[in-house]
Amino acid sequence: MITFFTSPIGLGHATRDIAIAEELKTDILFASGEGASILIARKGFKALDVYKPEGFIVESGQLQHVFKWLLQYYLYYKKCKKIAKEILEKRNGLIISDEDFASIAVAKKMGQRRVLITDITESHFTTGLASVIEKKMNKSMHNIMQTCDCVIIPELGDDRDNIRYVGPIVRRASADRNTLRKRFCFEKNTILVSGGGTDAGKYLVQKAIEVHRQLQSKLDSELIIVSGPSLKLPDSPEYRNLGFVNNMHDLTYAADLVISLAGRSTMDESMAYGTPGIFIPIKNHFEQEQNAARFGFTYEDIFRLEHLIKEKIGCRSNAADMKGAARAAKIISMLV
């Protein structure tokens, strides 16, 4: 029996947890919230919709009022501990947490085995006096990590202590690329734009629509938008909006270019399937800025979209290692 707590902040945690769960092939109960719970349930897993996270305040693609969000997140963490306790009082077996540190803290007190999945080991949202609070939260995070039976990091690296590096965790494509293009009716140069799991990507989506309007005839291209569960867009002949989808990885594989925020899972899926991408981080969001830097992008690249689209579209690369989910599942299976 496995209880899998998935952070509902965005959809990236849910997509990689689905990839692991499909490899495990065992009884799993997920606990998450909002769009993440819907996505997990659509894949046929049991999922409790119990978390209501505090959203980032993003204006024109820039993170605002970070200290206020940090305080709200701390209150949210305390609520999550109560929710996790209610769930775990009825469940035995292994606890897996994808960056839901509240469930790990509760499981520790209850003496249950714990696996943490994370690609960050500390946060750097604040500066000045506010950073004092964040440093205390980071110290608590480190203590939680040290007490876990295993910490799985979806990157390539050298194992140490209880930390296991498994490489990128991505979902398996449901068909080959040509089959997928026919399935999705992708006939022109296809630019796929992802709004992400929240409305934080609205600014990027609007910029992509604006730029594509100027480029469409030159590239003989079509714009496909995945607006996600939160972003609302009007109908328009300028693009095809697929809304909230279950198969972003298949769409990524089939596309000729992906434009998205610098969320880890979308970037990993783009790399895994060899599809070129333009990844624009939310300004002042340390994690996204670090992710984007790995691919050579910054927030300011949003003002260079026209040049970047012409440069990147169709420049496919070789597929990368896609065995992270299987490696993670093998590690977890040894602890069940």
Residue 81 predicted with pLDDT over 90: yes
* pLDDT one-digit tens code per residue, 165-192: 999 999 999 999 999 999 999 999 999 9
Length of the chain: 336
Backbone dihedral region of 185: left (phi > 0), alpha (psi from -120 to 50 degrees) or beta? left
Please state, in angstroms and as integers, the Cα–Cα distance from residue 291 to each residue in 93, 114, 282, 283, 296, following that order. Answer: 34, 27, 11, 12, 9
Residue 31 CA, chain-centre distance (Å), reads 16
Say what the pLDDT of residue 126 is.
64
CB atoms within 10 A of CB 170: 26
Residue 55 predicted with pLDDT over 70: yes
Mean residue pLDDT of the chain comes to 91
Taken in order of first residue, the domains within the chain and their CATH numbers are 2-168+324-333 (3.40.50.2000), 177-312 (3.40.50.2000)
* pLDDT one-digit tens code per residue, 276-299: 999 999 998 888 999 999 999 999
Confidence band for 89, pLDDT divided at 50, 70 and 90:
very high
Closest CA to 231 of 201, 261, 209: 201
Percent of the chain with pLDDT over 70: 97
Mean pLDDT of the 72-93 span = 92
* pLDDT one-digit tens code per residue, 34-51: 999 999 999 999 999 999
* pLDDT one-digit tens code per residue, 101-126: 999 999 999 999 999 999 877 666 66
d(CA 242, CA 61): 22
Mean pLDDT of the 238-252 span = 95
Instruction: Tell me the whole-structure pTM to 2 decimals.
Output: 0.91
Contact yes or no for 195/228 (Cβ under 8 A): yes
Residue 129 predicted with pLDDT over 70: no
* pLDDT one-digit tens code per residue, 136-161: 777 777 888 899 999 999 999 999 99
